[in-house]
Structure 1
Amino acid sequence: MRVDHFDFELPTDRIALRPARPRDSARMLVVDGRSPVVDRSVRDLPSALRAGDVLIFNDTRVIPAQLEGRRGQARLGVTLHKRLDLRRWQAFVRNGRRLRAGETIAFGNDVAVLAEERHPDGSWTLAFAGDEPVELLLERAGTMPLPPYIAARRTPDEADRTDYQTMFASRDGAVAAPTAALHFTPELLASLEAAGIARELLTLHVGAGTFLPVKADDTNDHVMHAEWGRIDAATAERLNKARQDGGRLICVGTTSLRLLESACDEAGTIQPFEGDTAIFITPGYRFRGVDGLMTNFHLPRSTLFMLVSALMGLERMQAAYAHAIASDYRFYSYGDASLLIP
């Protein structure tokens, strides 16, 4: 499909620079395939679902993956993208056109990386020097990797270290938050449990590629970056049983959805999964394991707006987004939510 089919005008003042407080006070647009859109709150989620449904969360934890350094006198920005092994990461390098393999980028006085290899997409393999665990080096030298549409308008600060982390975050490795889950609080989870709505966890380490613009004119020409994910056998078994018993699987965030669909076989059975996925979901895709999605509002022409259009239909989502814009919903990572039930 042509990428310009997924374009729309978004006023810049609709981009949220801070999250709602408390988190579950955010607005939620309910888009049901059979009914008009309904304006609700995230706190209404228990009544918007039904007993037996399962919410599926991503338990990845965002690391301080944004680094500012120098190669000689040149200033470079580094955004880690995907871990390759204990000391090596694939990364995007800003102002790195003159960077050459074998050169070192220094971040302060005691953190440095060696540029090993440049890839066709412009990213680099970077190896952290020394023996100290990379996680400790990042805590000293890195900052939270806020999305570019926020970072361009304000500087990341100490509040982002907690704001840009979900309450489920337990497995280090993401360089972007699974932002739909930012809306959840212990009080909301208690209400969901009282309503008979279960929850499950899986892991997808979100990469910086999630923010890359689609530069191709046709979706067939766009290449997704791979991300590592895992669903263990016990979780897959519980999800399959919940569905067999009549429950719906509602993914919280596009990251959970993409991993679940990657793990599904042709019959719609969720299999244990561990490895990379570069799944790209556009209209015409046949969903096999997902019955609904809770997600934030996405960028024009983005792979994520293409995904929600595949789930609900392009015209339906264009109308829903037009309603959200006219009704002053807050967009993107720190913005409001939508609940999509095809």
Structure 2
Amino acid sequence: MQEIGILGAGLIGASWATFFAAQGLKVRIFDVDDTVKQQAWEQSVRNLQRLADLELLTREDAATAEGKLKVAASLAELLTDIEYVQESVIEDYAIKADVYRQFEQHAPERAILASSSSGLLMTRMQAVMQHPERALIAHPFNPPHLIPLVELVPGEQTAVETMETVKAFFLGLGKHPVVLNKEVPGHIANRLAAAVWRESLALLDAGVASVEDIDAALCQGPGLRWALMGQHLIYELGGGAGGYQKFIDTIGASFEAYWEDMECWSSIPESAKQKAVSGTQDYLNQKSPGEWAAWRDEKLARIQQILHEEP
């Protein structure tokens, strides 16, 4: 797959365009809003320049990648002879259905349609398609051009061959694909994030600590380990010579007490919303949103460089 279509050119679409172009692939960008698709091209160019600043690309490779970005004038132009489309339109089943019907009107039958959806179910989205076997979820973590995770989720009618092809495709591009055996709302990463977020809000709402200290407790502790390994392996090591079994048998009871004391909200209380918004502003104002994003990207780049060092 040498030519990629970006369908939906918001924040995620522009980041995807950056990633694919940086990998040497030709990229066509389309959005129903002409202003949005032009802004996506401009953002992708800035992202490529930033990757060079961060020494993740050479200046020459960034310039070459910039030349591979093209804005498509129409959906038909985007999809003509295309091999792979990364769809990142609004998270709405009705809008997705309309887009998927149009995709099948213009795209070759061999073309793969991958959705960036962060929580919708592919089974429901592909139900409108004549060739649903070529559609799947390929959900990135923001920003896709810096974070390697991509969650691959089949629908009930997705072909095994499609899953294998896309997994191999992303592995070849340096991504880290994880494959779900079954659909669940939110996939894996966002469900884990949702659990942490709910408890973060609950701690704030109960007055246990400030927004800044709750965030620090995450990024200065568990977050450092999470950059290297997941919770299962962390607790395998935490069990010492007895491994995971010993950890569960000896420390698991403490966690049961934590779980009993934790909130089980299915909606966010108004008090927690207000405290989260106001509390975040207190330390967000230390930098502008653009400065925070630049700081984040620099740190992510350095972490990626460390993780990819030869042992």
TM bin, normalised by shorter chain, reads under 0.3
> Would you tell me which structure has more strand in proportion to its own residues?
1
Higher RCO (CA-CA < 8 Å; seq separation 6+): 1
Structure 1 or 2, whichever has the larger Rg, is: 2
- TM-score (ref. length: structure 2): 0.27
